[in-house]
Amino acid sequence: MPDTTPAPSIVLPALPALSAQAERLIELGVHETAGLSADEIRTFAVKAEAGAEGQGGLLAVHPDRAPASALAPLLRRDGKPGFVVVDMPDVDDFTPCALELPDAPLYVVTGIDRGDHMANWSPDEALPALTKEDRTPLVLTEGVHWVLQQPEALERNLCFMTIGSRLRKPNGTLDARTPAIWISNGTGRDGRERRNAPKVGWCWWNNRHTWLGFASATGRRG
């Protein structure tokens, strides 16, 4: 089992207001990818803020409307665009597993945490721990949305996995790859020009990595 000694807590700034997040998505053209108008996103954000009772959250577009392959290139770090690793051409086939997203094009994710205290745990070890804490793992597109709105959520040696997304094979079993978002070192097939760029990749379900936590949330609301 992993070392369960609590790691130092790193508190990230609060997410921008939902209305500001809506403007960010519109600026990036995400509404067009999702087949939504700018007014639809703005209206949803205003209503969500009014019903939030002081609680913030992350504005997310359902992955059926805006898949990871379309969102990842919008990420930026050191002026470099995000990318999906070349050996993950099926990135959009990693869909929500053992959790339900709101049946709506837009929704809000609440109580997001990067899961730094679970660094050096495997996904197989982290999932039951999150479930015991009554938390839900982020799906890949939610993780990308988070970094789009709050780039500082992705730091060297403090990146995260999004184990709410899994790929189910034709025979019904789950692929051993698990999506994660981290920062490229510019090695191998990434290419030197991508050093320090945000990167969507994968790790094995039973492997541990000291620099990857497990992003999760308290819930979602449509």
pLDDT for the residue 180: 98
* pLDDT tens-place string over residues 169-178: 999 999 999 9
DSSP strand pairing (159-161 vs 212-214): parallel
C-alpha to C-alpha distance for 23 and 44, rounded to whole angstroms: 12
Look at residue 21 and give its three-state secondary structure: helix
Beta strands in the chain (DSSP E): 58-61, 76-77, 80-81, 83-84, 95-96, 106-110, 136-137, 159-161, 165-166, 177-183, 198-204, 212-214, 216-217, 219-221
pLDDT for the residue 9: 52
pLDDT band at 6 (very low <50, low <70, confident <90, very high): very low
φ, ψ of residue 168 in degrees (nearest 5) = -95, 125
* pLDDT tens-place string over residues 30-42: 999 999 999 999 9
pLDDT band at 8 (very low <50, low <70, confident <90, very high): low
Q: Round the average pLDDT of the chain to a whole number and report it.
A: 94
Q: What is the mean pLDDT of residues 44-53?
A: 86
* pLDDT tens-place string over residues 76-123: 999 999 999 999 999 999 999 999 999 999 999 999 999 999 999 999
Contacts of 133 (CB under 8 A, 6+ apart): none
How many CB atoms are located within 10 Å of the residue 13 CB? Answer: 8
C-alpha to C-alpha distance for 200 and 37, rounded to whole angstroms: 27
Q: What is the mean pLDDT of residues 208-212?
A: 96
First-to-final CA distance of the chain: 37
* CA triple 198-121-183, angle to 5 deg: 10
C-alpha to C-alpha distance for 154 and 161, rounded to whole angstroms: 11
C-alpha to C-alpha distance for 86 and 99, rounded to whole angstroms: 27
Q: Is residue 56 pLDDT above 90, yes or no?
A: no
pLDDT for the residue 108: 97
22: left (phi over 0), alpha (psi -120 to 50) or beta: alpha
pLDDT for the residue 11: 74
